A and B are shown apart, each in its own frame.
Chain A
Amino acid sequence: MLKELRPALVLIVVMTALTGIAYPLAVTGIAQLAFPWQANGSLIERDGHVIGSSLIGQRFADPAYFQGRPSAAGEGYDAANSGGTNLAPSSRKLVDEAGARVAAQRQANPEETGAVPADLVTASASGLDPHISPATAAYQAKRVAAIRHATVEDVRRLVAEHTEGREFGLLGEPRINVLKLNLALDERWPLKR
């Protein structure tokens, strides 16, 4: 075994230098030079302050905003502690929580009488899902329009403008970035606080 120990030690030192230090540092260097915005987390600034990342969902409780998905990350949308509920499909807790969310959504959106879209009442995998489905946006459009004194048609048009299709028309699912949509809402129909 001693004979094997020398190459083992040399290899681990060399590989640590190559793959553990040189590789990530080289990629960091190239990334920071070529794509600094992405490399630093795709952050969005407003009036010089970071208000979030275009990739990371954040909590919207105010009914004047479109709400994102329920989140199990920390206390909700904790971007330093990602994760899902990991509840079983047969879990009573899961079904009770979904039931409470359905009731809350019906109360917040009284004009919508149909079934509640699935992604509005189920927690995402990361707890930081930045998107909602077009169905979930449509479900909230009347409420947001009423609070912001806008017409439902105008709000729907804004939602349509912010709906991202499948990539190359094929990959993934149609979706709306909630933070970007809400930023556009604030710009178009500012909230008087």
Chain B
Amino acid sequence: MDATGILQILLYVAIILALTPLAGGYMARLFEGKVSFLAWIERPIYRLCGTSADREQHWTGYALSLLAFNLVGALVLYGLQRLQVWLPLNPAAMAAVPADLAFNTAISFTTNTNWQAYGGETTMSNLTQMAGLSVQNFVSAATGIVVAVALIRGFARHSARTVGNFTVDLTRAILYLLLPVCIIGAVVLVWLGVPQNLGPTVEATTLEGSKQIIAQGPVASQMMIKHLGTNGGGFFNANAAHPYENPSAVVNLIHMVAIFVLGAGLTNTFGRMIGDTRQGWAILAAMGLLFLAGVGIIWWADAAGNPALTALGVDQSLSPWQAGGNMEGKEVRFGVALSALFATITTAASCGAVIAMHDSLMPLAGMVPLVNIMLGEVIVGGVGAGLYGMLVFVILTVFIAGLMVGRTPEYVGKKIEAREVKLAVIAILVFPVGILGLGAIALLAGASAIQDGGPHGLTELLYAYASATGNNGSAFAGFGANTLLHNTLLGIAMLLGRFVVIVPTLAIAGAVAAKKTVPHSSGTFPTHGWLFVALLVTVVLVVGGLTFFPVLALGPVVEHLSLASGALF
């Protein structure tokens, strides 16, 4: 661990902190309907949809619209994959995608997971990448944002029946936020070296005279939205480790900022819309503490290098001539420090892009991404999903605080009662059900997909089910997930982790919107101070930690201890 590494991490944190109020302020104005320079595009869309900007929905209507839209989106994506061989824009002549893989991928991209059981450059046609996967990159991100916005409105309003209009919110999120940022960002990425073409592969004759086929495509446009929308699905199999997706540390910085900027910004949007920005900063502070702890652990564990390689006479020490550390599955231009930072960001948010192979991280380093996902990806989190996930934990926290002092819990002026707490618990229970429940079935029925022996094998499978349930999409990629069983089970896990969280969240939004605001009194527990931040962090860790500690002990912890004693598998 060196000063340049620490400086790079601090620079990143500073950029996010500086952008939070800007992005947050813009989104607050956007979803309060105060931004309208594209109204001429909006109006015909709403007319075709049979709605208008001022017609609002009850939470049930909002949820039904959301589910219908996601269903249609998944069906379109499934169809595109199955039919791509007969459709245009298929220069590399990709075959039709098999049914189970197409099912898994359709769910994966609609749920903002972007779990990829396939290699992009060997499976998908340009049309599928553009009109299928890229579209879901936008709309699944927008879906997350609008759920968070509906929940924020719930807390901001009082005695209200409605939480907004799904069609309007989704359209505005894309038109005014995602598309403009992506167009500018993608052009900058091309300038910095990311390819953007519709050509076929390029055939090169290397210096030594052999042939090298180099895959090409519209990479930059997909890169920008895959990070801004915390999607994470790579154009290439190696994802953001591929030098075309991520040619330099400057591009890498843009990617990392894009992953966090909207999630962090939404905490500020929340603060602004409820009229107390301190509440937003308190949530971001809790996220920040967990984030820095994660970066530190991965970096520390990976910088030490692999003791089994040191024994062979491999130099893994940090020096002016090399970054050192565990370089298996890493790129020289990023080294261990940036790889640790990126691995934390991508799993704290539900992004899932990678610049280092998580499967090859040192055991304790690989445990951090896994834990980040198991905690529900509430550390900044996926766009929208992070904020509403954290607010679910906030409800649990004020409930526990309320129990301790024997008072009806309140949060930002709303009484938190039995209904809200029950709904919050449903959302939280999805994680153990998806990860441990479906994971257990998979272990019994499909253990042959595991690549590595010993405790690491358990971690591989566990990571797959955590990643799917958490809608993350990163993988311990040695796990051979492209089988009928895992494509199906992981598809179910992704659906659970997405919609069984979203529907209760919208129900909470409806419930708190209908409540009156209770005036602040001397007995109100302040939710903007460090005491609350500490309590929130504790609840997140205890709920996540106690649920998953036993299985973590059997996986990464045992692997760490056995590796230290020289055992290999």
Residues A27 and B196 in contact in the complex (CB < 8 Å), given A11-B171, A91-B568, A95-B568: yes
Q: Mark B471-482, 1 if CB is under 8 A from A, else 0.
A: 000001110000
Residue B355 lies at the interface, judged by CB distance under 8 Å to chain A:
yes
Contact A95 B202 (CB under 8 A): no
Contact B193 A42 (CB under 8 A): yes
Contact A28 B197 (CB under 8 A): yes
Query: Which B residues are CB-close (under 8 A) to A168?
Result: 250
Query: Which A residues are CB-close (under 8 A) to B221?
Result: 23-24, 27-28
Residues A82 and B238 in contact in the complex (CB < 8 Å), given A135-B319, A172-B248: yes
Q: With A and B bound together, what is the CA distance between A99 and B477 in angstroms?
A: 23
Q: Mark B199-224, 1 if CB is under 8 A from A, else 0.
A: 10111111110101111101011100
Query: Which A residues are CB-close (under 8 A) to B329?
Result: 84-86, 122-125
Contact A24 B360 (CB under 8 A): no
Q: With A and B bound together, what is the CA distance between A166 and B2 in angstroms?
A: 14
Query: Which A residues are CB-close (under 8 A) to B377?
Result: none
Residue A7 lies at the interface, judged by CB distance under 8 Å to chain B:
yes
Contact B130 A24 (CB under 8 A): yes
Q: With A and B bound together, what is the CA distance between A15 and B249 in angstroms?
A: 32
Query: Which A residues are CB-close (under 8 A) to B178?
Result: 19
Q: Tell me the A4-41 residues at the B interface (CB within 8 Å).
A: 4-12, 14-16, 18-21, 23-24, 26-28, 30-32, 34-35, 38-41
Contact B193 A59 (CB under 8 A): no
Nearest-Cβ distance from residue B67 to partner chain A, whole angstroms: 8
Contact B135 A175 (CB under 8 A): no
Q: Mark B21-61, 1 if CB is under 8 A from A, else 0.
A: 00000000000000000000000010011110000000001
Chain B: how many interface residues by the 8 Å CB criterion?
A: 136
Residues A52 and B207 in contact in the complex (CB < 8 Å), given A11-B69, A95-B568, A172-B333: yes
Q: Tell me the A96-123 residues at the B interface (CB within 8 Å).
A: 98-99, 102, 106, 114-119, 121-123
Query: Which A residues are CB-close (under 8 A) to B249?
Result: 166-167, 171-173
Residue A147 lies at the interface, judged by CB distance under 8 Å to chain B:
no
Residue A144 lies at the interface, judged by CB distance under 8 Å to chain B:
no
Contact B325 A55 (CB under 8 A): no
Q: With A and B bound together, what is the CA distance between A108 and B241 in angstroms?
A: 29
A52 nearest in chain B by CB position:
B204
Residue B64 lies at the interface, judged by CB distance under 8 Å to chain A:
yes
Select B243's contact among A15, A27, A130, beta carbons within 8 Å: A130
Chain A: how many interface residues by the 8 Å CB criterion?
A: 107
Q: With A and B bound together, what is the CA distance between A102 and B359 in angstroms?
A: 22
Residues A26 and B207 in contact in the complex (CB < 8 Å), given A10-B48, A124-B331: no
Contact A34 B187 (CB under 8 A): yes
Residue B335 lies at the interface, judged by CB distance under 8 Å to chain A:
yes
Residue B315 lies at the interface, judged by CB distance under 8 Å to chain A:
yes
Query: Which A residues are CB-close (under 8 A) to B309?
Result: 95, 98, 118, 121-122
Q: Tell me the B309-357 residues at the A interface (CB within 8 Å).
A: 309, 312-316, 319-335, 338, 354-357
Query: Which A residues are CB-close (under 8 A) to B212?
Result: 52, 56, 58, 77-79
Of B291-299, B413-421, B559-567, the segment with at least 4 beta carbons within 8 Å of chain A is: B559-567
Contact A49 B205 (CB under 8 A): yes
Contact A90 B568 (CB under 8 A): yes
Nearest-Cβ distance from residue B308 to partner chain A, whole angstroms: 5
Contact A91 B196 (CB under 8 A): no
> Which of A60, A81, A124 has the most chain B CB atoms closer than 10 A to its own CB?
A124
Query: Which B residues are CB-close (under 8 A) to A24?
Result: 130, 134, 196, 218, 221-222
Contact A50 B205 (CB under 8 A): yes
Query: Which A residues are CB-close (under 8 A) to B7?
Result: 170
Q: Mark B225-254, 1 if CB is under 8 A from A, else 0.
A: 100000000001110011110011110110
Residue A146 lies at the interface, judged by CB distance under 8 Å to chain B:
no
Q: With A and B bound together, what is the CA distance between A135 and B65 in angstroms?
A: 58
Residues A133 and B45 in contact in the complex (CB < 8 Å), given A8-B68, A65-B208, A81-B237: no
A45 nearest in chain B by CB position:
B204
Query: Which A residues are CB-close (under 8 A) to B135?
Result: 12, 15-16, 19-20
Select A87's contact among B4, B330, B359, beta carbons within 8 Å: B359
B302 nearest in chain A by CB position:
A89
Residue B95 lies at the interface, judged by CB distance under 8 Å to chain A:
no
Residue B83 lies at the interface, judged by CB distance under 8 Å to chain A:
no
A9 nearest in chain B by CB position:
B72
Query: Which B residues are CB-close (under 8 A) to A192?
Result: none
Contact A31 B187 (CB under 8 A): yes
Residue A51 lies at the interface, judged by CB distance under 8 Å to chain B:
yes
Select A62's contact among B208, B214, B326, beta carbons within 8 Å: B208
Contact B49 A7 (CB under 8 A): yes
Contact A57 B243 (CB under 8 A): yes
Q: With A and B bound together, what is the CA distance between A35 and B188 in angstroms?
A: 10
Q: With A and B bound together, what is the CA distance between A127 and B327 in angstroms?
A: 12
Query: Which B residues are CB-close (under 8 A) to A167?
Result: 248-250
Residue B112 lies at the interface, judged by CB distance under 8 Å to chain A:
no
B12 nearest in chain A by CB position:
A171
Query: Which A residues are CB-close (under 8 A) to B170?
Result: 11
Query: Which A residues are CB-close (under 8 A) to B159?
Result: none
B234 nearest in chain A by CB position:
A82
Residue A143 lies at the interface, judged by CB distance under 8 Å to chain B:
no
Query: Which B residues are CB-close (under 8 A) to A94?
Result: 308, 328, 360
Nearest-Cβ distance from residue B237 to partner chain A, whole angstroms: 5
B194 nearest in chain A by CB position:
A38
Q: With A and B bound together, what is the CA distance between A8 and B43 in angstroms?
A: 16
Residue B306 lies at the interface, judged by CB distance under 8 Å to chain A:
yes
Contact A56 B456 (CB under 8 A): no
Contact A51 B205 (CB under 8 A): yes
Contact A173 B334 (CB under 8 A): yes
Residue B8 lies at the interface, judged by CB distance under 8 Å to chain A:
yes
Residue B362 lies at the interface, judged by CB distance under 8 Å to chain A:
yes
Residue B374 lies at the interface, judged by CB distance under 8 Å to chain A:
no
Select A122's contact among B49, B225, B327, B567, beta carbons within 8 Å: B327
Contact A7 B51 (CB under 8 A): yes
Residue A150 lies at the interface, judged by CB distance under 8 Å to chain B:
no
Query: Which B residues are CB-close (under 8 A) to A16?
Result: 76, 131, 135
Q: With A and B bound together, what is the CA distance between A116 and B130 in angstroms?
A: 44
Listed by A's residue number, 7 A-B pairs whose Cβ atoms lie within 8 Å are: A7-B69, A85-B329, A95-B568, A123-B329, A126-B243, A172-B334, A173-B338
List 5 additional A-B contacts (Cβ < 8 Å) besides A11-B171, A82-B215, A118-B309. Answer: A4-B69, A51-B207, A88-B452, A91-B452, A125-B355
> Which 3 A-B residue pairs are closest in the complex by CB-CB distance?
A172-B249, A125-B241, A115-B315
